Amino acid sequence: MAPAPEERQALSVGLPGVHRQVVERGGRRFVILDLPRVDEASLHALRATLQAERPGALAVELDAQRREWVGDPERWQTLNLLDVLRAKKGTLLNAYLSLRIFQKRFGSFEGAEPGDEMRIALEEAQRSGATLALVDRDMTITGLRAWRRTPFWMRLTLIFALSFGSLRRKKARPSEAQRARLQRRFRRLERSMPAVKQAFVEERDAHMACAIEAIDAPQVVALLSTAHADGVARHLARGSDPAGCRDAVPPKSVLSRVFPWALSAAIVGVFVLGFALGDAAALRDALLTWFVINAICTALATCVALAHPLTVVASALSAPIVSLNPAVGAGMVGGLVQLLVAPPSIRELEQVGDDIARLKGWWENRLARVALVFVLANLGSTIGTVVALAMFPDLFGG
């Protein structure tokens, strides 16, 4: 059923550089702002637009963790990465880096970084006393939903797409050209990785529309990225679904929960069987194969990350042992050692967004290299486990 005339979405363009959409429905007014091209001029125009709007309620495309890092650069600069990994928040760090890659890949920036426009909004909300609402979904939930809903055989593709796919620095485009380009890239993303498109775009559109509509104010001004502005406006025009705010992390599949422990039990069982059968030579060969293959594969993978020699040694020596425990991985050991022997500088923390937008930046930036070590060491250990297990039947005369 078509919306009533008073519920139709009205479009208008604000100051040059700021795209403005107005949705009026049910006696409420929602003003959606986005910057198709983020540069110094558009940031100045955004500040002027927010001052002209004088919003009583201002919604921004941030979650609580990103607000801390975007709104307080010193907190990000003093982030202790060793504590992050010790607290098992490596997923949080990876989700943040993945989201920045996504924003770089689908946005248009010149002399600016993803989040600069949100920082302007935070400053204006504080200056004007407007009620501030963080309407984006927790980035860890988004990352895990994309990961767990991607078929197992496509996850390696997802890693490479987020890490290395199309990371050339894009030229900033005029507003309309950027919006057309965005739609083309979304269509390609939906064909290649539909779970990623759904988690990073469609679900977040629904979540943010639901959160904006839940704000208790007759008029709400929302600052969103161009990737979400149109979708959120459409949701608000027809009425958001309350279910959009109830996002949860999909449970791990039975296979992903059981397989690591079953694999560990099977490996231990093989060694126990070797003792029971009394074939000392076969058991010795199996143990040697397990340690050597795991260590070599992990060492080679970690070398690809150009990790510190001590990191390579620590990852290689720990891989045969930690691979028996699904709760710990060679990547965690390698990441911790890499942080200790080659800690990132403050400059690298500040520039990680720029650096990971270039392929070689993953090796040049020591923060990005920690993430690279974490991923590649785990990948190498997994490959080593598979290769060693494939050799066991021959070793035991199977």
Domain map (residue ranges) of the chain: 5-239, 254-395
Q: Among 58-62, 162-166, 334-338, name the most confident range.
A: 58-62
Least confident of 76-90, 167-181, 275-289, 336-350: 167-181
Is residue 359 pLDDT above 70, yes or no? yes
pLDDT band at 390 (very low <50, low <70, confident <90, very high): confident
CA quadruple 254, 257, 259, 265: dihedral sign: negative
Quick check: 387 pLDDT over 80? yes
CA distance 3 to 239: 10
pLDDT at 48 over 90: yes
More confident residue, 86 or 18: 18
Q: Could you tell me the end-to-end alpha-carbon distance of the chain, in angstroms, rounded to an integer?
A: 67
Chain centroid to Cα 162, Å, comes to 8
pLDDT digits (tens, 9 = 90+) for 112-145: 777 889 999 999 999 999 999 999 998 888 888 8
3-state secondary structure of 146: helix
Cα–Cα nearest to 49, from 12, 24, 23? 12
Q: Is the pLDDT of residue 10 over 50?
A: no
Residue 391 has pLDDT above 80, yes or no: no
Q: In whole angstroms, what is the distance from residue 349 CA to residue 190 CA?
A: 32
pLDDT at 169 over 60: no
- Segment 262-280 shows an average pLDDT of 62
At residue 282, does pLDDT exceed 90?
Answer: no
Q: Which of 170, 174, 139 has the alpha carbon at shortest distance from 65? A: 139
Q: Which residues pair with 223 in a beta bridge?
A: 33, 60
Q: What is the pLDDT of residues 209-228, one digit of tens each?
A: 999 999 999 999 999 998 89
Q: What is the pLDDT at residue 245?
A: 67
Q: Tell me the pLDDT band of 2, cut-offs 50, 70 and 90.
A: very low
Q: d(Cα 70, Cα 93) in Å, to the nearest integer?
A: 14
- List the single range of 18-22, 72-76, 289-293, 299-303 with lowest mean pLDDT: 72-76
Question: In the prediction, which pLDDT does 330 show?
Answer: 82
Read off the pLDDT band of 90 (50, 70, 90).
low
Higher pLDDT, 2 or 393: 393
Average pLDDT, the chain: 78
The pLDDT-based confidence of 297 (bands split at 50, 70, 90) is very high
Higher pLDDT, 21 or 14: 21
* Neighbouring C-beta atoms of residue 374, cutoff 10 Å: 25
Cβ count within 10 A of residue 174: 11
Q: What pLDDT shows up at residue 160?
A: 64
**pLDDT attached to residue 322:** 78
pTM for the model: 0.66
**pLDDT for the residue numbered 99:** 75
